[in-house]
Amino acid sequence: MWQQGTYDPELNLVYYGIGQTYDTGPLMKPSGVAGTTQDALYTDSTVALDPSTGRLVWHFQHLPNDQWDLDWSFERQLATIEVGGRPRRVVMNIGKMGILDALDARTGEYLFSIDGGGQNVIARIDPKTGAKIIDPDKWPDKTRSTLICPNATGARNWPSTTVNPKSQMLFLPVTQWCLTFGPPTGPGFTLLSSGVGFTPADHPSAAASGKMGRLQAMDLRAGKLGWKHDLDAPIASAVLSTAGGLVFAGDLDPSLMAFDDRDGSLLWRAPLDNYPSSSVITYAVGKTQYVAVVTGMKNYHVNDLSRRYQLFRKARGVTLETPKGEPAVVVFKLKGR
């Protein structure tokens, strides 16, 4: 586990996401031992625990035998939404592939998935069980090069998603980038014990549009994608939705932006003097509301994103200067919509 859990006081359950093991080599082929599988149980899983006793109440494995470092960790979002004509308490997770899995929060029963559309590893999802059917061409092979999307850092990473419980829309920050699995030679590196080399590569959609970033809406009530807003630069912050119908996000432009949550139109953009590198928060003092974000405090995610984004722009004839603003908490006062 490498992120916080989520507690549901109604059910007295706490949910955690578990990543994968870097020791993937032994899982490449069946062991031949009776009663064993290559699933690597509890990796890439949601587990529900009774916080009073620590007892495992249920688990759901989103992706068995993750050979791509495409963890299903990160935050678990809780919401009560209409599924099959009746309200259900659901717990949702979106892993690095940008696929949302929705489960019954009490039992772990699989309900539905929404594919963000940027991945090419999973060919199909069983609509009844949520089982992921892998494209066999994407299986790691040290003897040939294969384009894997997204990059192992993910179509999304630690920056959190956000849900508007009124409209039952979820908003996801997406980065469009890929890598090549193949022989461990050249400019690439190895990360997993399968020994397959990782080499950065452009996402076909980003190469065609020149845009690496996207804010993607997901309609939870309908179980499908909503609007999207493509962005030149990847989103580097968590996203934040408000009761007033706004969605805030900070990108590597660098800037802080506000979108209309009904259609994704950009309502406001404010330049920043360094990369946003935290969750966006909003708070009120008296009758005045503020929105704030930390800038200039680089982390692994921002480092990886910014380096790749600069190379992506340079390949298209644009040289970007590295922002030099000092670390700060940047605060804006809202004047109403």
User: CA–CA separation, 204 vs 141, rounded Å?
Assistant: 21
Interatomic CA distance for residues 304 and 235, integer angstroms: 12
> Coil, strand, or helix at residue 128?
coil
* pLDDT, tens digit (0-9, with 9 covering 90-100), for 162-184: 999 999 999 999 999 999 998 87
**In terms of Cα–Cα distance, which of 160, 117, 127, 321 is closest to 250?**
160
**Terminal Cα-to-Cα distance of the chain (whole angstroms):** 39
Q: Quick one: 322 exposed, middle or buried, by C-beta within 10 A (0-12, 13-18, 19+)?
A: exposed
**Mean pLDDT across 188-215:** 91
Task: Report the mean per-residue pLDDT for the chain.
Answer: 94
Q: How confident is the model at residue 32 (pLDDT cuts 50, 70, 90)?
A: confident
d(CA 213, CA 138): 24
Q: Predicted confidence band at 187 (pLDDT cuts at 50, 70, 90)? A: low
337 pLDDT higher than 60: no
Backbone angles phi, psi at 136, to 5 degrees: -60, -25
Which residues does residue 89 pair with via DSSP β-bridges, in sequence order? 80
What letter would DSSP give residue 52? T
* pTM of the entire predicted model: 0.94
Which pLDDT value is given to residue 336? 57
Written as one string, the DSSP assignment of 187-204 is: T-EE-STT--EEEEEE-H
